[in-house]
Amino acid sequence: MRRIAIIGAGSVVFCKTLMLDIMATPALEETEFVLMAPTRSKTPQVEAFANKVIQANGLKSKVTVTTDRREALTGADYVICAFQVGGVTAFELDYKIPLKYGVDQCIGDTLGPGGIFRALRSIPVILDIAKDMEELCPNAILLNYVNPMAMICWALGETKIKFVGLCHGVQTTLDLISGYVGIPKTEIDYISAGINHMGWFTKIESQGKDLYPILREKFEQPEFYANEKVRGEVFRHFGYFMTESTGHLSEYVPWFRKSSEALALYCDEPSFGGESGAYYTWCTYVANKYKGYNVLEDEPTELPPRSVEYCAYILEALETGKTFKFNGNVRNDGMISNLPAECCAEGPIFADRTGLHRTLVGEIPPQCAALNLTNINVQRLTVLAAKSGDPETIVQACALDPLTSAVLSLKEIREMVTEMLDAEQEWLPQFAGRRPRPTPTIVIPPDVKRAEVPIDPALAIFSRFGELAT
């Protein structure tokens, strides 16, 4: 019986989805699920529901619950991570403190101040899990669902464990493309590559016919452009369609959330279209609605068709050899040749009985790589900050963030970071007692004279006030 440890099993609905997908896969029927969360406030609900499904369908699966992570990992064949350090309480700080300074986020879990601080809370935990895996289940494969995906997987790429980061952005965007071009997604051949939440469909074809002319024509029509203003605008200017919605993408670039005018023009759609705090508002609503209530109590016990999540299909491929192609997040190491080797890249991967095999994509269009690099710069510094505990590196990461730098001065960024560190210190032990150094404003009196600085006469031509030497 294979053993699957789910770390963060208190994510009730998502955990239920993954377990049902696995139970609905005949080759994975004999599975022991070990549900781990820091408390037992939610995992008994998942355990009780799973046992009802097992009994109703005559399955050979088994479910156990623990609050001991090492117990869960011992002897695991697979590890699934889906935790959120600090929960909605920390998420509120990620959203509201930057908003006070003028940084308006819609999702706040991938880039921007929210994504950076979510990574600072989560990276030490994922690295502890990796260290435990090296000792307790060195041959296991970690399937990561924790955001910010690229930063988490960047950190994992510096460990010895086998891992892949999973997202549903590619498959849900393919559904969207299918609707736009009027061709079933099963008949579309595509290549998507880049970074998580900013992957680019570099090829979209059906029976050898390029579908991009149809897609471009659609996005010049107001009724289609209105559905995805931000993604549509980036598509029109950069030439390629990407994997994330207006709400997400508007945070990763400097153009759409920098002012109230830009927000009104591009991010006014309802239902996560880009409005301020959409994801935080939804998470708070769900948390309050189901507080003290067993959301799984009345769920049907028959096995539904498998969801769009990749997890069960990957496990099936690894167990049976039935090849499965998907887009995953791994250490780049040349998969995309014009992105840094050490970053986390998202691209085509094949799974079979021998493991996970990346595809060498080569170069993606230079303008797409350039936009990825603006995010990779932030990711690099955030991972470094999370591991080093250096608060100055957080300031520098936020200063390079496209949205934050479009709105705030360097001094304002420093003040925002300091306030966020103070507010979130209980989840950031690596920064205990450490804060960004203060940088008081230097006031220049109106009558001050510029200081005379000696300069080599031979170099005077390069000075703004220098005279040409003869």
Q: What is the mean pLDDT of residues 388-392?
A: 97
Q: Which member of 252, 266, 280, 313 is catalytic?
A: 252
Q: Give catalytic status of residue 168 as yes or no.
A: yes
| Statement: the pTM of the whole predicted model exceeds 0.85 | yes
How buried is residue 127: exposed, middle or buried, by Cβ count under 10 Å (0-12/13-18/19+)?
middle
- What digits encode the pLDDT tens for the residues 58-75? 999 999 999 999 999 999
CA-to-CA distance for 275 and 271, rounded, in angstroms? 8
- What digits encode the pLDDT tens for the residues 344-384? 999 999 999 999 999 999 999 999 999 999 999 999 999 99
Chain position carrying tokens 């050490």? 342
Annotated binding site for Mn(2+): 167, 197
Indicate the pairing of strand 198-206 with strand 78-81. unpaired
| Mean confidence (pLDDT) of the chain | 93
- What digits encode the pLDDT tens for the residues 84-133? 999 999 999 999 999 999 999 999 999 999 999 999 999 999 999 999 99
Coil vs helix vs strand at 261 = helix
Confidence grade of residue 470 (pLDDT, cut at 50, 70, 90):
very low
The answer to whether the CB of 43 falls within 8 A of the CB of 31 is no
pLDDT at position 462 is 64
Annotated binding site: 147, 167, 197
CA-to-CA distance for 352 and 238, rounded, in angstroms? 35
Question: Cβ of 220: how many Cβ atoms within 10 Å?
Answer: 10
Looking at residue 90, its amino acid is A
Confidence grade of residue 298 (pLDDT, cut at 50, 70, 90):
confident
Show the CA angle centred on residue 243, arms to residues 278 and 308, nearest 5°: 85
Q: Which of 393, 399, 87, 375 is nearest to 251 (CA)?
A: 375
Sign of the Cα pseudo-torsion (49, 55, 60, 66, in order):
positive
Annotated binding site for substrate: 147
- Given this structure, which CATH class describes domain 88-106+167-293+315-429? alpha beta
Helices (H), 219-274: 222-225, 229-238, 246-252, 260-266
Q: Domain map of the chain by residue range? A: 88-106+167-293+315-429
Q: Give catalytic status of residue 237 as yes or no.
A: no
